[in-house]
Amino acid sequence: MQVILSLMIFQFMFGKLFKRNREQVKLFYNTDVHCHIMPGVDHGSQSMEQSLEMLRAEMEMGISRVILTSHVTAVTFENTRESLMDAFLKLKDAVTDEGLDIELELSAEYRMDEYFDKEYAADHLIPMPGKHILLENSFQQELMNLDELLFDLQIKGYKTILAHPERYSYYSHRRKRYEQLHNAGARFQVNILSFTGYFGEEARDSALWFVRNGMIDYLGSDMHNIKHAHIIMDYINSKEWKKLSKEIEPTVKNDLITM
């Protein structure tokens, strides 16, 4: 009796596991342009094991290229090309050792603060291919000279991408500002997690506003841990995502970030 019970539990557990693998809906693009999968460089992945688990989750969702955008912020994460390169090479080696078929690219998510100003002035930025640069606002208030900085970056050939604009609550009552920024050449990267309500109703409403207004240029996981990956995996299996992704697909350019 006990053996039969154990066999039933085994079948239930593995049945569920295989069911999830078999039914996982894939994303309609292959490049994740925003994530914190690099081990030990910010408050994302804290170990190589966690990084590999997150990369396996990316692959399950149909991602075959990941642009690693670790935080670069004053005081908390003053990463440099050297500090990130060290972690990047170790992660690449681990991916090869594990036989994972996923391409990795090194870049960063830059908070626009005094450390960014210093790195930019010294020409030390690590852009994505095609000189795309992922920029993050402060969560308290918009940068005073945001327009000037974006203009300056664009003059120097950078293609400016604003990370998760839907998450800044100070924009939720002045969405015209999004249009101004978009018209001025800034591009928007929305987090899939925002659609799930993970960051609250306000962020979800704003994410839906971006869909309605056809202003999502890039989608990102912004995953910091495997829990984020699982929330995204469950969400993209939903009917809501099936409908939304059809509306979003025409404007999303994730796979066009190339040399």
- Tell me which residues touch Fe ion (CB under 5 A): 109, 222
Considering beta carbons, is residue 78 or 148 the nearer one to Fe ion?
A: 78
Tokens representing 107 are 């870049």
DSSP readout, 94-158? HHHHHT---EEEEEEEEE-SHHHHHHHHTT---PBGGGEEEEE--SSS--TTHHHHHHHHHHTT-
State which residue has the least CB distance to Fe ion: 222
State the Cα–Cα distance between residues 213 and 205, nearest whole angstrom. Answer: 12
Look up residue 215 and give its two tokens: 């202003």
d(CA 92, CA 66): 11
Residues 6+ apart with CB under 8 A from 209: 166, 175, 178
User: Minimal distance in Å, beta carbon 42 to Fe ion?
Assistant: 9
Q: Smallest distance from the beta carbon of 44 to Fe ion, in angstroms?
A: 8
Question: Between residues 109 and 119, which has the closer beta carbon with respect to Fe ion?
Answer: 109
Q: How far is the CB of 5 from Fe ion (least distance, A)?
A: 45
Nearer of residues 108 and 236 to Fe ion, judged by Cβ = 108
Closest approach, Cβ 71 to Fe ion, in A, equals 7
Comparing CB distances to Fe ion, the nearer of 10 and 139 is: 139
